[in-house]
Amino acid sequence: MMRTVTGHTRVVGVWGHPVGHSRSPVMHNAALAALGLDWVYTAFDVPPARLPDAVAGVRGLGLVGVNVTVPLKELLPPLLDTLSDEARRIGSVNTIVNQDGLLHGDSTDGAGFLRALAEAGCPPLFGQRALLLGAGGSARAVAFALAGQGCEVVVANRTGEKAPALADAICDCYKGRASAAVWGEDAGPVDLVVNATSLGLSPHADAMPALPPHLFDARPFVYDLIYNPGETRLLQTAREAGCPVSNGLGMLVWQGALSLSLWTGLPLSQMPVAAMLGAVSPAPTKRPVLDEPE
Ligand code: NDP
């Protein structure tokens, strides 16, 4: 449904570089329509060097708030007025809330991940052992979220020194709940595997993280933060090995719903999650029309 932009319409949006691939505008505009808000959500390509200007623009233009994606999340904390405990802990912001000119930074990635994981049917995390592939911005959010639930996190990353650095940061907060493993080498038995690398992301859908031998023997739950393609090679391999699997669509929706809740001040339970999911879900494959048997 086409909405009319008026003189009163307020603006929210997403910043990234590049940002044209983002599904957030489609998802959030569906949510704004469902809530009946006279707001519009749009994408802005913000190169890192322009980030301070963009932040000043939020104040100057009175934007409601902003989502932030690669590669800006970790650059934002020093540019904002206040940070949530979560954003400070993980050193990353994915949501700016404009509180009458005071810019507050938060991160909804970890909480969105946990909601999506539970909804996908992953067993309770307390006492579980997880292998986390990746040590970038979203891996940090996921790692702290898992450790906060009492899960032991083993971090493996291509660039070797980033995995122990992330494990150390988690242990500073949650003693003994993290360690580092060598990329592609045996990390011992795990209950959960999370891919937080960009390996397998469209248009490089053939790529796949280096997997330790015997990783799927105990049928761990496998969650891939990637949702495009809907089934990465990692998820396909895990599914064929008999593991329960999920892609990252649920995380996209829940981190977005949590951001929208922060901007509107409405409880999460009032966020139109079904409309958001519907807006970003791939259209069902059309079945071929078969001739009726005579
Ligand atoms: P970052 O750029 O911060 O991190 C990228 C990670 O991928 C790093 O660990 C990097 O390793 C690794 N990596 C990249 N290329 C390779 C390669 N060729 N071989 C091995 N490792 C590689 O990105 P983000 O953390 O923000 O995003 C990671 C993924 O998560 C993306 O696919 C993104 O789309 C997805 N995502 C999904 C969300 C959702 O809502 N579902 C939310 C946020 C992200 P190294 O350190 O060695 O460079």
Q: What is the pLDDT along the chain (294 residues), one digit of tens a residue?
A: 567 899 999 999 999 999 998 999 999 999 999 999 999 999 999 999 999 999 999 999 999 999 999 899 999 999 999 999 999 999 999 999 999 999 999 999 999 999 999 999 999 999 999 999 999 889 999 999 999 999 999 999 999 899 999 999 999 999 999 999 999 999 999 999 999 999 999 888 999 999 998 999 999 999 999 999 999 999 999 999 999 999 999 999 999 999 999 999 999 999 999 999 999 998 765 554 444 333
Ligand 1 binding pocket (C-beta < 6 A) is: 70, 109, 134-139, 157-159, 162, 196-199, 201, 225-227, 248, 251-252, 255
Query: What is the distance in A from the centroid of ligand 1 to the CA of 194?
Result: 11
How many Å apart are CA 76 and CA 213, to the nearest integer? 38
Asked if 15 and 44 count as a contact pair (C-beta separation under 8 A), the reply is yes
Block residue for tokens 């809740």: 261
The CA-based angle 162-225-273, given to 5 degrees, is: 135
Question: How remote is the CA of residue 196 from the centroid of ligand 1, in Å?
Answer: 5
The pLDDT of residue 197 is: 95
CB 241 within 8 A of CB 219: yes
pTM beyond 0.85: yes
Give me the pLDDT at residue 282, please: 82
Give, as one character, the DSSP assignment of residue 230: S
pLDDT of residue 293: 38
